[in-house]
Amino acid sequence: MTLKLIQVGLGMHGFGVALHFVKASEDFRYAGVAEINPDRLKNCAAELGVPEENCFTDYKEAFAALEADAVFVTAASPYHYEICKAALEQGLHVLVEKPFVLDIGEACELVGLAKQKGLILMVSQNYRYQNHVLSLKNAIGEVGQPLFVQAQFFYDHFGKDYQQVMDNFMLLEMAVHHVDMIRYLFESNIKSVSGKTWNIEGSMYKGHPNVQASMELDNGMPVFYLGSLVSKGLSSPWEGEWRIQCQEGSIHLGDLGQGYGVYIVDAQQNKRFISYENGPLPDSKQGIHSVLAEFAARIQDGGEPALSGRDNLHTLAALIAFSDSAKTGSVSYPATYIK
């Protein structure tokens, strides 16, 4: 059965998602689109082939007027909470771009609302369906048990208007991917966090664009993270650069000579590059393709998505815990944020 989707927000990422992923999906067809900027709405809808009568500048009007099963929220992050809430109240299943919302209390409220209404609420943590990340996960165990992890990410990003004024900008817009990766790779939540966030002189951002954090996972493993969105010079690929130190060797996501990808180095310094020629996923299932497929499958069978809002509370709580730890100078415990 093809499900009817309303997409809200057709900005730079939202329109790309519409064109390359929603239009390519066999699971969804457009009931309509909503975008607050009328010129953008008109131009994007024309390219997507959505008829004018199914286009709205007010998402609440779209939810009330259109016959639909689900909403994909790709609007700017500060509006995720109000749009998700309105969609759930209208009885629509929701897929929302990362960051789920900006506030952990609001996230808990939405998870409760979806449960009460019997609706799917899912967060598009698309990196969990990227070959780099899947291969890194598959490599764990190849050189003994993981002992500790270091991950880093550097980029010089020109912030969108909403990003320039956002609190916790780096944490919520970018580190959200890497922190969700940590939880996914090691199938463990983050028990405690000691973090530092900071700005630089002349920065365009109000919220801190740099973050450094030491974490301990529920399984006891230490993880060290350094991320920056104001670093000129050499940029990291989006998934970052990783070293997973294991008992008998090290596993890397980075470029150790044969291009960016996963490498395994054993105790004798033998280096093996993991090629993605045969997967894990074909291009047609990378990232948001698989997110949409999972969303459709869970709408149909009513099961809990791997990327559920409930699961994502643990990613968001860890990020808020980083921020609080940076403000107070003491250790924060993500689980205590989830009510």
Question: Which residue of 3, 6, 31, 34 would you call a contact of ligand NAD, by CB under 6 A?
Answer: 34
Q: Which of residues 246-285 bind ligand NAD (CB under 6 A)?
A: none
Residue among 9 and 195 whose Cβ is closer to ligand NAD: 9
Residue in 3, 5, 6, 8 binding ligand NAD, rule: CB under 6 A: 8
Q: Which stretch binds ligand NAD (CB under 6 A): 4-12, 21-29, 242-250, 302-310?
A: 4-12
145-204 residues near ligand NAD, rule: CB under 6 A: 160, 162, 173
| Nearest residue to 101 via CA among 120, 82, 80 | 80
**Shortest Cβ distance from residue 162 to ligand NAD (Å)?**
6
In the bound state, the residue with its beta carbon closest to ligand NAD is 11
Among 124, 135, 228, 323, contact with ligand NAD (rule: CB under 6 A)? 124
Given the rule CB under 6 A, which of 32-40, 111-119, 138-146, 248-256 is the region that contacts ligand NAD? Answer: 32-40
- DSSP-derived secondary structure letter, 302: -
The one segment of 30-38, 214-222, 270-278, 304-312 that binds ligand NAD by CB under 6 A: 30-38
| Binding region for ligand NAD (CB under 6 A) out of 5-13, 110-118, 188-196, 276-284 | 5-13
C-beta closer to ligand NAD: residue 217 or 291: 291
Reported as type and span, the H/E element at residue 106 is helix 104-117
Q: How many angstroms separate the CA atoms of 240 and 178, rounded? A: 8
Classify the C-alpha dihedral 64-65-71-75 as positive or negative: negative
* Residue of 5, 11, 253, 315 that binds ligand NAD (CB under 6 A): 11
x/- map, 88-117, ligand NAD, by CB under 6 A: ---------xx-------------------
Choice from 45, 68, 102, 126 touching ligand NAD (CB under 6 A): 126
Mark residue 89 as left, alpha or beta (left: phi above 0; alpha: psi -120 to 50; beta: remaining).
alpha
153 contacts 194 by C-beta, under 8 angstroms: no
Other C-beta atoms within 10 Å of 217: how many? 19
Torsion over CA: 9, 13, 15, 17 (sign): negative
List CB contacts of 141: < 8 A, sequence separation 6 or more: none
State in angstroms the smallest separation of the CB of 288 from ligand NAD.
7
Q: Rule CB under 6 A: which of 50-79 touch ligand NAD?
A: 59, 74-77, 79
Cα angle for residues 271, 275, 280 (degrees, 5° grid): 130
| 337: CB partners within 8 A, 6+ apart | 104, 317, 320, 321
- Nearest CB to ligand NAD, comparing residues 13 and 272: 13
SS3 of 140, please? coil
d(CA 323, CA 211): 9
Beta bridge partners, 271, equal: 265
> Which positions touch ligand NAD (CB under 6 A)?
8-14, 34-37, 40, 59, 74-77, 79, 97-98, 124, 126, 160, 162, 173
